[in-house]
């Protein structure tokens, strides 16, 4: 049975995508820890990140780096956090989160009912920033 992330990647479930290439996608979390919280997910379903092949792992990190730079430029957090937890969905994903403190990386503080317009605005902000960086991997709205 496909993971929820595969269902989002395949368009079966909605997602607010900010990146798509042949190896991975990035979309906004539906339970954000902070405004702009983005997940970088390989297209191939690999449960545990340590089971990724090295080129895929490196590619995910490069994409997370670009998204983090876009978050820093546009959202101006104190830092951009990066986390690989992997307990909630059996499909590798990197959490790229604008943070102002360690509390912003605590899943107990996730917003489980974010306003759709806030998610839309964050996604468009990131897409615009990535396009301004010359990235062609940014999908349309």
Give the domains, in start order, of the chain with CATH numbers. Answer: 4-132 (3.30.428.10)
The pLDDT value recorded for residue 135 is: 96
Average pLDDT on 92-113 reads 96
In the sheet that holds 24-28, the strands lie side by side as 17-20, 24-28, 38-42, 94-99, 79-83
**pLDDT for 61-86, tens place per residue?**
999 999 999 999 999 999 999 999 98
pTM: 0.96
Distance between CA atoms of residues 3 and 101, nearest Å: 31
On the question of pLDDT at 141 being above 70, the answer is no
Identify any residues that bridge with 98 across adjacent strands, giving them in sequence order.
80
């Amino acid at each position: 049975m496909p993971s929820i992330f595969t269902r989002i990647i395949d368009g079966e479930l909605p997602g607010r995508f900010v990146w798509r290439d042949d190896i991975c996608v990035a979309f906004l979390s539906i339970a954000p820890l902070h405004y702009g919280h983005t997940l970088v997910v390989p297209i191939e379903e690999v449960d545990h990140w340590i089971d990724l092949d090295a080129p895929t792992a490196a590619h995910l990190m490069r994409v997370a780096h670009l998204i983090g730079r876009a978050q820093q430029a546009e959202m101006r957090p104190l830092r951009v956090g990066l986390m690989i937890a992997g307990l909630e969905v059996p499909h590798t994903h990197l959490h790229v989160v604008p943070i102002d403190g360690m509390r912003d990386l605590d899943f107990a503080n996730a917003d489980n009912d974010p306003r759709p317009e806030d998610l839309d605005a964050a996604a468009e902000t990131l897409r615009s920033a990535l396009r301004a960086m010359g990235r062609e991997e940014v999908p349309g709205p």
